[in-house]
Amino acid sequence: MSSGTIIGIVTFVYLGTFSLMLVGQILDKKGFQNAALFGAGGGFLLHGAGILSRWYESYSLGVGHVPLSNFYESLVFFSWAIVLIAFLSIRGEARNRVLTFIMPAAALMLGYASFSTGVESDIQPLVPALKSNWLAIHVITCFLGYSSFVVASVSGFFLLRNGHASPEAHPTGTVFYRCVMIGFIFFTVGILTGSVWAQVAWGRYWGWDPKETWALITWLIYAAVLHERIRKGRATKGVAVIALIGLVSVLFTYFGVNYLPGLHSYL
Amino acid sequence: MKQASSTDYKKTANNGNGLPGRLSSLKLAITLLFFITALCLVGTVFPQRDGYVSYGHGLVSWISSLLSPYGIFHSIWFMGAGLLLCINLILCMWKRAHLKRRSLLMLLLHGSILLVIAGYGLGFMSLDGFMEIPEGSTVSRVMLKNGSSQDLGFSVRCDRFAADYYPNGMPKEYISDLSFIRDGQVASRAQVKVNHPASFSGINFYQESFNQSPASAIITVSDGQKKMVLKASEGDILPLPSGDTRVRVVKIWSNLMHAGPAVKLLIEGPSGGRYLWVFRDIDAIKSRVPDLFERMPQFDPSGFRPYTFSCEQTGTSYTTGIGVKHDPGTPLVGAGGLLFLISLLLVFLLPRTSPGVQSSSSGGNPSPALVERSASDTVHKKAQATGCDS
C-alpha cells in the first residue's frame, strides 16, 4: 500500500473518531468515547506508519530523504505531531475534550494535503539548500513546538469557557502550562537549530526574513504568556487570551508567511 | 507552604514603586514583548531595506526616518525597545540576585538573552559582501552591501564551477572549486557548496549564486592561403577578408543532435544569405554518413567558397557568486543561545525534584492531574525566584 493511500485512510479514521467523540459527548456515553479514543490511537499509529512508508518510498525512488521537505510532508507531520502531543500531555476527561478539537484539525490538515490541487504530493529530490543534516532536527523541533502551542491554546480555550474560579487547579490548567512550556522549549530549539543552519547555509544566523521574524513573534507571545502567568500567580483568563493570540501567530508563522516574500516559501 | 510563597511574592511585588520599580517590573517586560511583537509584524508586512531609511532633508528626513516602516529592524523604536528590555532584564536580575533563592538559574536564563543581544550588537563590525568570480579568474575585491568595495588582502580564484541537475531538471548541487592565493602562492584550496561553506583567514565563503555566461566557440576560417582563429559568442559578427561578406554567429551548441559541439552561421554576401552548420566532429560524422553533403549541403564546412569553416571547441562559461562573510558577534550569540536553552530546560525540569514541591503536592489535592505535576507550585516557586514587581 502506498503512503498516499495510508494517509487517505488515516484522514477518514480521524473524521470517524471525531464523529464518535461528538456522539459520545452529546449522549454522554462512555462506550462511544472509549471507542473514539481507541480509533484515534489506531489512526495515530497508522499515520506514523504512513510517514515511515513515504520515507522508505523516497529511498526506492533513489532520492532518499526524511519526509519533511515540502508543504505536503510538513502538513502530514504537523497533523501527526498535534495528535502525539495531545495524547502525551493530557489524561482523563480533559483529553477527550481537547481531542474533540484536535482530531478534526488533524483530519482537515491531512485532507488539505491529499486533496488540494495547490499542494504537490509527489516525492521530490532535495534541492541544494535543503541538503543538510539540520533539516530533520530543525523541522521536527519546530513542528513539535507548534503542536504543543496548538494543544496549549485549545486547553486555554477551555480555561476561558469554564470560567473556573481557579483555572490553574482545573486539569486543563495543568495541561495548559505544561504544553506552553514544552512548546516553548521545542520552539526555542527549533529557532536555535534554524539559526545554526542559516549560519551554515547563508552566512547569517538571523536575517529578519518573514518566517524568522514570525517565529520570533510567536516566541515572544508565548514568552508573554509565561510571564503574565507569573505576574498573576496562575493561568487567568487573560493568560489564556494571550495564548489564543499565540495560536493565530503559530498559524501565520506556518501558513501565512507563504504569502509574504521570503526564503522559506517552499515550506 | 503555598501560603508562604504566595505572600513572599506579594511582598516583593508591592515594594516596587517609583522609576526603578517600574523599570524592573514584569508589566514593563510584557508590554515590551508586545511592543516588539508589533514592530516585527510591521517589519514583515513592509519590504525591509538595509541600513538607514529616510526621505528628504533636515527635519523632514528625521521625521520620515522615525515613521518609515521600511527599516523597522534598524529603527530607533526597535533599538529603543530592545535597549529598554535589556535594562528591564538587568534590573530584574539584579533584584533577584538579592533574593538569593534559586536565583542563579533565572540569572543564567535572562543573562543569556543579554549575551545574544550583545552578540547581535557586535554585528555592526561584520563583513558582509559578495564576489563574482568568472571560472578561471582571480578576484581580490569584495563588493559590500552598502555599495562600496574592499580588498581582502588575498585573492580567490574559481578553478571550476559546476551546476548539477536531477533527471527531472531540479537543481541538485552547485559546486565551486576555489583557490585562496596569498603573495602569488596558492595558500589553500576548498570546495564550496550550498550548506558547505569554506573558511580562509577567518573569513567564510558561501555558495550564493551563479551566472551562465553566453556560450562561446573558437571558430577557424581559412580561404586556402590564410587561416583566422576567432573566439566568438552568439550574435557576434566575424570579420572576413573580403569586405562584401558578413558572417554572423547565430547559435552555439555544446552538443547538437548528439553529434558534438556545433555552431550555426548566417553568411550574408552580395548574392544573398545562407545558413551553415559547422560541426567540430564533421570528419567522424561524414565517415558514418558518406553522402551527408549531398543530402545536407548546409552541413558542408567548405560549402561557401572560397572559405572553409571549422569549430574547435564550444562551451559555456560560468561565473560563481560567492558570499564573503565574517561576524565577530557569532560566537557570543551561539554561546548565549546554548546557555538559554540549558537554563530553560533546567527551569522546567528542576522543580520536579525540589523537595519543596514534593512535600506540597503530597499534601495537596489528590486529583490525578494535579499529583502528576503541580502547576500551581511551579508558579509559586517561580514567583519566589523571580522577585520582580508586577
- pLDDT tens track for A160-185: 776 554 444 555 667 888 899 999 99
Range of the domain at B250: 214-318
B82 and B184 inside one domain: no
Q: Is residue B7 part of a domain?
A: no
Partners of B181 in beta bridges? B155, B186
pLDDT at position B353 is 39
- Is the model more confident about A174 or about B274? B274
Nearest CB to A131; choose among B195, B338, B375: B195
Strand, coil or helix: A221: helix
Query: Which residues between 110 and 129 in chain A have a beta carbon less than 8 angstroms from any beta carbon of chain B?
Result: 124-125, 127-129
pLDDT band at A244 (very low <50, low <70, confident <90, very high): very high
Q: Chain B: nearest CA to A227, how far in angstroms?
A: 7
The whole-angstrom distance between B71's CA and the closest CA on chain A is 11
Do B142 and B185 lie in one domain? The reply is: yes
With a cut of 60, say whether residue B384 has pLDDT above it.
Answer: no
Is the confidence at residue B334, as pLDDT, over 60? yes
A63 in contact with chain B, both atoms CB, cutoff 8 A: yes
With CB atoms and an 8 Å threshold, state whether A208 touches B48. yes
**pLDDT tens readout for residues B218-252:** 888 888 788 888 888 888 888 777 777 888 888 88
Nearest residue of chain B to residue A239 (CA atoms)? B30
A29 touching chain B per CB within 8 A? no
- Quick check: A259 contacting B, CB < 8 Å? no
B114 found inside a domain:
yes
Of A91, A228, A229, the CB nearest to B368: A91
Q: Is the peptide bond before B306 cis (omega within 30 degrees of 0)?
A: yes
Q: Order the strands of the B237-238 sheet from edge to edge.
A: B237-238, B246-253, B262-269, B272-279
Task: List CB contacts (< 8 A) between A233 and chain B.
Answer: 6, 9, 379-380, 383
CB atoms B44 and A173 under 8 Å = no
Burial-class residue B38 by CB neighbours within 10 Å (0-12, 13-18, 19+). middle
Tracing cell 553566453 back to the chain, one arrives at B214
Instruction: Output the 3-class SS for B202-266.
Output: CEEEEEEEEEEEEEEEEEEEECCCCEEEEEEECCCEECCCCCCCEEEEEEEECCCCCCCCEEEEE
A136 touches chain B (CB under 8 A): no
The percent of residues above 70 in pLDDT, for chain B, comes to 80
Q: Classify residue B50: in a domain, yes or no.
A: yes
Enumerate the residues of chain B whose CB falls inside 8 A of the CB of residue A123. none
The 3 state secondary structure assigned to chain B is: CHHHHHHHHHHHHHCCCHHHHHHCCHHHHHHHHHHHHHHHHHHHHCCCCCCCCCCCCHHHHHHHHHHCHHHHHHCHHHHHHHHHHHHHHHHHHHHHHHHCCCHHHHHHHHHHHHHHHHHHHHHHHCEEEEEEEECCCEEEEEEECCCCEEEEEEEEEEEEEEEEECCCCCEEEEEEEEEEEECCEEEEEEEEECCECEEECCEEEEEEEEEEEEEEEEEEEECCCCEEEEEEECCCEECCCCCCCEEEEEEEECCCCCCCCEEEEEEEECCEEEEEEEECCHHHHHHHCCCHHHHCHHHCCCCCCCCEEEEEEEEEEEEEEEEEEECCCHHHHHHHHHHHHHHHHHHHHHHHHCHHHHHHHHCCCCCHHHHHCCHHHHHHHHHHHHCCCC
Residues B242 and B193 in one domain: no
A210 touches B: beta carbon within 8 Å: yes
- Does residue B366 lie within any of the structural domains? no
B109 shares its domain with B19: yes
- Given pLDDT bands bounded at 50, 70 and 90, which one contains residue A142? very high
Average pLDDT, chain B: 79
Q: Which residue has the higher pLDDT, B35 or B1?
A: B35
Maximum distance among all Cα pairs of chain B, rounded to whole angstroms: 110
Is there a single domain that holds both residue B115 and residue B37?
A: yes
Q: Is A233 on the interface with B (CB under 8 A)?
A: yes
Residues 140-159 of A with CB under 8 A from B: none
User: A165 in contact with B at a CB cutoff of 8 Å?
Assistant: no
In a domain, B108, yes or no: yes
Contact B325 A203 (CB under 8 A): yes
> Which of the pair, A3 or A235, is modelled with greater confidence?
A3
Amino acid identity at B315: G
Q: How far B197 CA sits from the closest chain A CA (Å)?
A: 7
Give the pLDDT band (50/70/90) at residue B386: very low
- Count of CA atoms in the C-beta half-sphere (13 A) of B242: 15
* Residue A75 or B259, more confident: A75
- Sorted by where each begins, the domain ranges of chain A are 1-117, 127-267
User: Do the Cβ atoms of A231 and B348 come within 8 Å?
Assistant: no
Is B371 a domain residue? no
Q: How many domains does chain B have?
A: 3
Residues 6 or more apart whose Cβ sits within 8 Å of residue A54: A3, A67, A73, A76, A123
CB of A188 less than 8 A from some CB of B: yes
Closest listed residue to residue A63, CA positions, set A122, A4, A114:
A122
Asked whether the beta carbons of residue A168 and residue B6 sit closer than 8 angstroms, the reply is no
Residues of A in contact with B340 (CB under 8 A): 188
Which residues on B lie below 8 Å from A89 (Cβ)? Answer: none
> pTM for the complete prediction?
0.77
Asked whether residue B121 falls in the same domain as residue B25, the answer is yes
Contact A34, A88 (CB under 8 A): no
Higher-pLDDT residue of A192, B368:
A192
With beta carbons less than 8 A apart as the criterion, state whether B102 and B384 touch. yes
Mean per-residue pLDDT for A3-29?
Answer: 91
Position B85: which residue type? L
Residue A73: closest CA among A109, A117, A43: A109
Least confident stretch, A213-217, A222-226, B49-53, B347-351 = B49-53
Assess whether pLDDT exceeds 80 at residue A266: no
Q: Does A201 touch chain B (CB under 8 A)?
A: yes
Q: Which three cell numbers stand for residue B226?
A: 590564410
pLDDT value for B12:
45
Listed in sequence order, the DSSP H helices in A116-236 are 134-162, 171-202, 210-232
Question: Does A17 have pLDDT greater than 50?
Answer: yes
> How far, in Å, CA of A113 to CA of A121, rounded?
7
Count of pairs with CB atoms under 8 A, one residue in A, one in B? 149
C-alpha to C-alpha distance for B333 and B70, rounded to whole angstroms:
26
Mean pLDDT of the region B137-145: 92
Q: In this structure, are B136 and B112 located in the same domain?
A: no
Q: Is A204 at the interface with chain B, CB within 8 A?
A: yes
In the predicted structure, residue B390 carries a pLDDT above the cut 80: no
Residue B226's pLDDT is 83
Considering only A134-138, A199-203, B31-35, B72-76, which range has the smallest mean pLDDT? B72-76
Residue B179's pLDDT is 96
Q: How close, in Å, is residue A89 to chain B by CA atoms?
A: 10
| Minimum CA–CA partner of A134 in chain B | B195
In angstroms, the separation between the Cα of residue B83 and the nearest Cα of chain A is 16
Quick check: B289 pLDDT over 80?
A: yes
Answer yes or no: do A185 and B44 touch at CB < 8 A.
Answer: no
* CB contact (8 A) between residue A224 and residue B30: yes
Cell numbers found for residue A220: 515572544
Most confident of A35-49, A226-240, B229-243, B245-259: A35-49
Report the b/e string of B233-252 with b at 16+ CB within 10 A.
eeebebebeeeeeebbbebb
A62 and chain B in contact, CB less than 8 A: no
**Which residues in chain B touch residue A196, judged by CB atoms under 8 angstroms apart?**
334
Rounded-to-integer distance, Cα B314 and Cα B261, Å = 6
Chain B: residue whose CA lies nearest to A168: B376
Nearest CA in chain A to B382: A230
Same domain, B27 and B106: yes
How large is the average pLDDT for residues A95-120? 89
